[in-house]
Amino acid sequence: MLCTDKTGTLTEGNIRLERHLDVHGKDSEAVLRYAWLNCFFESGMRTPMEDAVLAHESLNAVGWQKVDEVPFDFERRRLSVLLAHQEQDRQRRWLILKGAPADVLVHCTTVCDAPEAHPAGMIALDAPMLAAIRTRLDSLEQAGFRTLAVAVKEMPLDRDHARLEDEDALTLMGFLGFLDPPKTSAADAIRTLSHYAVKVKVVTGDSELVTQYICHALAMPVSGLLMGDEIARLDDATLRGRVESTDLFCRVNPMQKNRVILALKANGHVVGYLGDGINDAPALHNADVGISVDTAVDVAKEAADLILLQHDLGVLANGVLEGRRTFANVRKYIMMGASSNFGNMFSMAGAALFLPFLPMQPVQILLNNILYDLSESAVPLDAVDQSEIMTPQRWDMHFLRNFMLTMGPVSSLFDFLTFYLLLQVFHAGESTFQTGWFVESLATQVLVIFIIRTSLNPLRSLPHPALLLTSIVVVSLAVALPVLPLGVYVGFVPLPSWFYGALALLVLSYLVIVQIVKVIFYRMTATGLSDRKLRCP
């Protein structure tokens, strides 16, 4: 699951103020002026919407003086400033408030019928007027506009501080409409993530109508809608059931975002969360993978596990695929190394029981390991089967253990065959035996890479050219070492020509047997997984 905020991820993140309307839906400079004063005099961290108001037009604050402020919080979803205004003949004090329309309207008792002539033209906010205003707001949000309401209240001249109780009996002036266009690259990224079994859910404090508009513009398939006030009424058990069938979580506060993340995790999902604001910090901290961007606020970056240099879902889609490829190659390396080392140690222990000399000298064992590791150095570059990146993979130690215990004895079986040929058929001495096993051991360890690296037919799943090259070079060096001058320093002796013919036959037989055992192993593993799933309640 990837949970993401909307702004800057599904949208361009370039918010512009496009409309400043009175209660009748007409353009109003007075509404813009009051909103501008509120943004200009606030002392907290400005949001992109407040920056958009200030950038829309440069107004004059001469004659206005800040007295006090009630800062924004995520429960009230509004901010008010108390300003003193020196008019020509007298001074007046005004509380100017802006915030989410739903949270402002419930505190308004009057509307300004003619904002340009305010305070004249104030009429009561009755039910028909309220219904008309909400219909107008809905139409703006359905067109993709994010909205803020602007309201005012005249205060006594002796009032020198602002209180929460003052945010009542307000006069509604009008509304601001902001546009943040959908990000075209997000549509391709969402389709890519969906194709690779990553479900995208939108968790936002914005309006459900604006969010649905953005999702529709991006052709993003969504089902289910859960609002913040609904989440507040649900207990944790009920919420865990609802999050499974819900893709949009709108008008949610920071704690509700966090509850959504925890509910998805409790259902067994691996959850990533992408956010960049202060309100995203709890969700970023509790997600399995918290993701932020380099332009985010400090608290969001501190809570995140990853910092993106580009605020783009496409980066995440590419990261998911690269992560799965890397995971598959890490597991591939462990499967090859564990099964090979287990087989070699088993062979070494078995040979020590009946041989009057060491099966391989310590320096030869070290050289064997070095050359084998060199042949594996290109594994990080290797391609992986499409089946391993189509769906999320989980670390399974039982699978790795069973693979090692299955493939390791097959390797030992051919080691013992080599021992038999060297001792009983060709009557090899100590140096010849050690040299012969070194060559056979390294050849089988390296070449079996091409069988183990894929669950498919190795002739159809081709390795990376670099892996093919390093493997061929290492096997060629192993075959050549007994006749090279360097071989003398590690105790090697030249091998008779018949050994190489026997070696080729042994290696070919070994690779065929490993492929057969591998196919059987994967079939039995798949059957076992299916049985366990059927037994699950």
Q: Cβ neighbours of residue 132 under 8 Å, at least 6 residues apart? A: none
Distance CA 472, CA 72 (A): 67
Quick check: bond before 119 cis, omega within 30?
yes
CB 261 within 8 A of CB 271: yes
Q: Apex CA 149: angle with CA 233 and CA 6, to 5°?
A: 60
Crossing angle of the two packed helices 254-266 and 236-244, in degrees rounded to 10: 80
In angstroms, the CA 147 to CA 99 distance is: 9
Structure tokens at 291: 């993701």
The number of CA neighbours under 13 Å toward the Cβ of 264 is: 28
- Residue (of 59, 18, 265) closest to 148 by Cα position: 18
Of 5, 166, 180, 382, the active-site residue reads 5
CA angle 535, 328, 294 (to 5 degrees): 110
Please identify which residue in the block is written with the tokens 């509380």: 95
Among left, alpha and beta (phi > 0; psi -120 to 50; other), residue 197 is: left
φ/ψ (deg, to 5) at 290: -90, 130
- Known active-site residue 126: no
Residues 6+ apart with CB under 8 A from 461: 383, 385, 453, 454
Q: How far is residue 456's CA from residue 62's CA, in Å, rounded to a whole number?
A: 76
User: DSSP characters for 298-351?
Assistant: HHHHHH-SEEESS--HHHHHHHHHHHHHHHHHHHHHHHHHHHHHHHHHHHHHHH
Q: What SS3 string covers 198-221?
A: CCEEEECCCCHHHHHHHHHHCCCC
- Write out the two tokens for 282: 């709890």
Tell me which residues are annotated as active site.
Answer: 5
